[in-house]
Structures are given as structure tokens and as C-alpha cells.
């Protein structure tokens, strides 16, 4: 492998470094064999993810359906001993006698149930772009450009991991983002468990009170606490802090009543029910919203599992495309074929794994999915044959 490096400085506080490398055909073949092993692991991992995700989805549906049937309406004004240990729904004003406080800056306010601190630091970031070209004989030339620019980011960027750290050094963040919760929150006569409070997410922008004794180097600019000389012309290391808060307000919750405390309800298979919404919201609506959220998360994980499986099959086929790349056009054709083959296998296999998982929990749904997977696999297998049949018919 050979390297060629060039640098370019641009305006606006950004610059770039370009590295050109050439990898021989034998080196690429060795890398593709490693990729074959990685692809195998990805396929195994995707199957495990899909299987576990479907089990989680079924557990969630069953628990929420059961919870919606069992939930009991109670009043917030007093603790009802008759509903001890039961799943309850109630609405009332959520209050606190110990408002959330950020001790690092002395930020607090009356009735603050939760206080979220968001910190951003002006720092160097690295962006990587790659362009590759396969040469006759199978060697590949890769041009990689590393672009460095200064921007605000809410997480520290480790500049020592940059391709070119010199001249792009980032200082450590002086403070990080966090959420601070009140230690004593009540909903009417009930105390609210911290795990249930974590579900209260109706955050609104919160301006720090005036006249605070801020840490050295910080000053207030509107609703922002700024660390640096000039916010209009920031320098690397400048920091800005914003706040959002949940204040005392009318809330609706679904939780278990345990000795006067509202806490997450432990349903079957370890699924927890702990729902909280701002305002007066009926229990049926809260369960419907939660089921929609669980459905969305299930589809996201299904998509991730499918993509991992597809990448796995492509990596497993990479030795073939690399072997054929001694003639670049042939290598490209084999690569496209590997992608199509990967799709033809990954789509029905994903459906099959999902179906088998559902058969364990809900047989009727699982059988339907298996039928769909087999039908799709049959149609995909026949697609490449149609052009051949057409040619034969023309003859």
C-alpha cells in the first residue's frame, strides 16, 4: 500500500488534508476474506436482533393490552388502600417541595420537577469523504479527504483521534449535559418514584434567574450562559449552556400504587408500564400512545436488523467481486450481482425470522408471515429468469 498526502487550507476556519492510497489486488483479497468473517457475524447478529425484537414487541403488546383492561381509576386527593399493588390511572397537579437545582451553576426555580442542562462547546470536528477507483489488474486507488472545521457540538470531540490532530486540538469540555430531578415529587397525596418521574418529558425552555453568582468565566446572554470573550466571534473552547425544565403542572400517570408511591408496574415477562402525560389524559389514550411508540421502535429495529443482514451478505460475497476486479468492469458487475443476491436472500430471510419469532408467541400471525416470505422468495428467484425466457421466446 502506498500513500500520498496533501494539505489544503480554506477560509472560514476550516481546512482539509487529502490522502491517496493504493491497495494491491492481493491486499484487497485478504481484506475481503476478513470481510467474509465479519459478514458472517453480522448475519448471526442480525438474526439474534430480529428474534429478540419480535419477542420484545409481543411482550409489550400483551402487557399493554392487559394493562389497559386492568387499570383502575383513582383520585389524586387521597391514597386508596383498596388499590394497593394495582395498576392505577390518575390526574392531578404534580408538585415538589425540593425543586430541582443545578449546583454547578446555582440554577433553580420554584416548582421545578426536572431541570435539563444542555452544554455545547465550540470545537474542531473532522469530516471524512472517500472516493475509490479500481485499476486494471485489481489494485484500488482511494482518495480520502479529511475536512476540519470549527462548530458547536454538544459532545466532546476527541481531537487526538483525528487523522491530523496537529493544529486541531480540542480542550476538554468544562461541563457536560445532564438532567437533574427533584428528590421529592408528589401527585396529589402520592409520592412519585424517580423511575416514573423519568417518563415526564414535557420540557420547556427555562431562562436562568438574573443576578446569579456564576462560576468564573461565565456570563449571561439572554437565556444562555456563555464562557468566552465574544459570542459573536467564538474561539475553540468557548462554551454555552442552555436550560429546559418541567415545572409543577397538571399531569396524568399510569403506574402501580405501592405504599403511597406511584412507581413502574412490573407486567409479565419483565415489561414495565410507567406512563406520564401533561394535562388530563384518559388512560385509554395513554395506552394507545404507548402502543404506537412501541410499534415505531419495533419497526426501527426491524429495519436495522435487515440492513445488518444485507451488509453481511454483501461482505460474504466480497471475495468474489474482488477476485473478478482484475478487470474493473467485471468486478463492478459481480458487485452489483452480490447486492441483488443479498437483497434476494435478506428480504425473505428477515421475514422468515420475524415469522418464526411470532409463531412462538402468536402462531396465526407467524404462519401468515412465513407464507409471505416464501411467496416473496419465489418471486425474487424468478425475476432473473424473465429476460432469458423473453429472449428464448424471441428466437
pLDDT (tens digit per residue) in 9-58: 554 456 889 999 888 888 888 998 999 999 999 999 999 999 999 889 98
The contacts of residue 150 (CB under 8 Å, 6+ apart) are 13, 14, 122, 123, 124, 125, 234, 236
Cα distance between residue 112 and residue 182, in whole Å: 7
Q: Return the higher-pLDDT residue of 356 and 120.
A: 120
Nearest to 76 by CA among 219, 278, 279, 253: 253
What pLDDT, on a 0 to 100 scale, did the predictor assign at position 395?
Answer: 39
Mean pLDDT of the chain: 88
Supply the pLDDT for residue 354.
86
- Average of per-residue pLDDT across 350-375: 71
Please provide the DSSP assignment of 238-276 as one string: -EEEEEEEEESEEEEEEEEEETTEEE-EE-GGG-EE-EE
What pLDDT is recorded for position 335?
Answer: 86
Q: What is the pTM of this model?
A: 0.79
Do residues 96 and 113 touch, judged by C-beta distance below 8 A?
yes
Per-residue confidence (pLDDT) for residue 394, from 0 to 100: 43
Q: Is 17 in contact with 6 (CB distance < 8 Å)?
A: yes
- Which segments of the chain does DSSP mark as H helices, in order? 25-70, 194-197, 283-324, 328-361, 363-382, 385-394
Question: Within 13 Å of residue 301, how many CA atoms lie on the same side as its CB?
Answer: 19
What pLDDT shows up at residue 200?
96
pLDDT of residue 329: 86
Instruction: Give residue 387's pLDDT.
Output: 44
| Mean pLDDT calculated for residue range 284-312 | 96
pLDDT at 338: 87
pLDDT category at 365 given cuts 50, 70, 90 is low
Question: Residue 222 carries which DSSP code?
Answer: T
Residue 392 has pLDDT above 60, yes or no: no
Q: How far apart are CA 106 and CA 104, in angstroms?
A: 6
Running DSSP on this structure, what letter comes out for residue 101?
A: -
Q: Average of pLDDT values for 380-394?
A: 48
The predicted-structure confidence for 181-240, as pLDDT tens digits, reads as follows 999 999 999 999 999 999 999 999 999 888 778 888 999 998 999 999 999 999 999 999
Residues 343-357, mean pLDDT to the nearest whole number: 86
Between 297 and 135, whose confidence is greater? 297
CA distances from 284 to 61, 192, 281 (A): 14, 21, 8
For residue 386, the model assigns a pLDDT of: 45
User: Would you list the domain boundaries of the chain?
Assistant: 2-12+23-57+297-394, 70-124+151-281
Lowest-confidence segment of 117-121, 251-255, 381-385, 391-395 by average pLDDT: 391-395
Q: What mean pLDDT is predicted for residues 368-386?
A: 63
121 or 322: which carries more pLDDT confidence? 121
Can you give the pLDDT at residue 1?
58
Out of 132-146, 159-173, 259-273, 360-374, pick the least confident: 360-374
Q: In terms of C-beta density within 10 A (0-12 exposed, 13-18 middle, 19 or more buried), how is residue 382 classed?
A: exposed
Q: pLDDT band at residue 393, thresholds of 50, 70 and 90?
A: very low
Helix (H, G, I), strand (E, B) or coil at 49: helix
Cα–Cα distances (Å) from 263 to 71, 85, 86, 88, 112, in that order, read 14, 10, 11, 10, 20
Length of the chain: 395
For residue 224, what is the enclosing H or E element? strand 224-227
* Distance in Å from the first CA to the final CA of the chain: 50
Cα separation, 288 vs 68, in Å, equals 9
pLDDT higher than threshold 80 for residue 362: no
Reported as a pLDDT band with limits 50, 70 and 90, residue 367 is low
Burial class (CB in 10 A: 0-12, 13-18, 19+), 322: buried
- Report yes or no: 91 and 76 within 8 Å, Cβ to Cβ: yes
Question: Cβ distance 81 to 258 under 8 Å?
Answer: no
Residue 357 pLDDT class (50, 70, 90 cuts) = confident
CA-closest candidate to residue 212, choices 225, 231, 230: 225
Give tens-digit pLDDT for 133-188. Answer: 888 888 889 999 999 999 999 999 999 999 999 999 999 999 999 999 999 999 99
Q: Which residues contact 206 (CB under 8 A, 6 or more apart)?
A: 109, 112, 115, 223, 243, 244, 245
Amino acid at each position: 500500500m502506498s500513500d500520498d498526502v496533501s494539505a489544503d487550507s480554506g477560509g472560514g476556519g476550516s481546512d482539509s488534508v487529502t490522502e491517496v492510497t493504493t491497495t494491491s489486488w492481493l491486499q484487497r483479497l485478504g481484506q475481503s476474506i476478513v470481510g467474509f468473517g465479519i459478514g458472517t457475524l453480522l448475519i448471526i447478529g442480525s438474526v439474534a436482533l430480529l428474534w429478540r425484537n419480535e419477542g420484545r414487541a409481543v411482550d409489550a403488546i400483551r402487557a399493554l393490552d392487559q394493562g389497559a383492561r386492568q387499570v383502575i381509576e383513582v383520585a389524586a386527593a387521597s391514597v386508596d388502600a383498596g388499590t394497593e399493588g394495582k395498576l392505577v390511572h390518575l390526574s392531578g397537579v404534580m408538585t415538589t417541595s425540593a425543586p430541582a437545582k443545578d449546583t454547578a451553576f446555582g440554577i433553580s426555580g420554584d416548582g421545578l420537577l426536572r431541570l435539563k442542562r444542555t452544554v455545547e462547546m465550540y470545537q474542531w470536528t473532522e469530516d471524512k469523504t472517500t472516493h475509490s477507483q479500481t485499476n486494471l489488474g485489481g489494485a484500488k486507488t482511494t482518495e480520502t479527504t479529511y475536512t476540519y472545521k470549527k462548530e458547536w457540538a454538544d459532545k466532546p470531540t476527541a481531537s487526538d483521534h483525528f487523522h491530523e490532530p496537529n493544529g486541531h486540538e480540542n480542550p476538554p469540555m468544562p461541563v457536560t449535559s445532564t438532567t437533574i430531578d427533584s428528590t421529592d415529587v408528589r401527585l396529589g397525596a402520592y409520592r412519585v418514584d424517580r423511575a416514573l418521574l423519568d417518563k415526564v418529558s414535557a420540557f420547556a425552555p427555562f431562562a436562568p434567574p438574573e443576578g446569579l453568582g456564576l462560576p468564573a468565566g461565565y456570563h449571561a446572554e439572554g437565556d444562555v450562559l456563555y464562557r468566552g470573550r465574544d459570542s459573536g466571534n467564538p474561539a475553540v473552547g468557548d462554551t454555552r449552556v442552555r436550560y429546559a425544565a418541567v415545572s409543577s403542572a397538571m399531569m396524568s400517570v399510569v403506574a402501580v400504587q405501592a405504599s403511597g408511591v406511584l412507581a413502574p408496574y412490573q407486567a409479565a415477562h419483565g415489561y414495565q408500564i410507567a406512563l406520564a402525560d401533561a394535562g388530563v389524559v384518559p388512560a385509554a389514550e395513554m395506552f394507545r400512545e404507548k402502543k404506537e411508540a412501541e410499534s415505531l421502535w419495533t419497526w426501527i429495529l426491524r429495519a436495522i436488523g435487515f440492513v445488518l443482514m444485507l451488509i453481511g451478505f454483501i461482505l460474504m460475497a466480497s471475495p468474489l467481486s474482488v477476485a473478478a476486479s482484475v478487470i474493473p468492469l467485471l468486478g463492478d458487475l459481480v458487485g452489483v450481482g452480490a447486492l441483488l443476491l443479498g437483497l434476494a436472500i435478506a428480504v425473505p430471510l428477515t421475514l422468515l425470522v420475524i415469522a418464526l419469532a411470532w409463531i412462538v408467541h402468536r402462531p396465526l400471525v407467524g404462519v401468515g408471515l412465513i407464507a409471505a416470505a416464501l411467496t416473496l422468495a419465489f418471486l425474487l428467484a424468478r425475476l432473473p429468469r424473465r429476460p432469458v425466457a423473453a429472449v428464448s421466446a424471441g428466437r
